Amino acid sequence: MGRTNLDPIITFPNGSHLLISTASSNKGSFSCALYMATIEADDRGDFRIVSNGLDAATCLEAQTEAYNYAQRLYPRSAETMKKPPYLIWHGPGPTGTADV
């Protein structure tokens, strides 16, 4: 499943960002992934997956699970993290490409 959306949860003092991506499956469930991103001065980005496979029956449940995981992972920054809901990608369109 390709992911096309990223929503920032927090920007750390060193300038790196914790991002979340949410996608829906063809079966009606939702999954989230967390990424750590750093953006260079020339706009090149480095993305590292922090967590994947945070699945749930509803979008808000998957996002809440990811948010709770992020809080456990970075407890000193937990209070300043953006809370759900986040952006969502609804999956590929009928042609197999992302609907715009």
Per-residue pLDDT at 87: 84
**pLDDT tens readout for residues 69-78:** 999 999 999 9
Indicate the domain borders of the chain: 7-80
Residue 98 pLDDT greater than 50, yes or no = no
- pLDDT at residue 14 tops 80: yes
Q: With 80 as the cut, is the pLDDT of residue 1 above it?
A: no
Residues near 18 by Cβ (< 8 Å), separated by ≥ 6?
8, 9, 10, 11, 12, 34, 35, 36, 37, 50, 70, 74, 81
pTM (2 d.p.): 0.81
Compute the CA torsion angle 57, 91, 21, 59 (nearest 10 deg).
-20
Q: To the nearest whole number, what is the mean pLDDT of the chain?
A: 86
* pLDDT tens figures, 25-64: 778 889 999 999 998 888 888 999 999 888 999 999 999 9
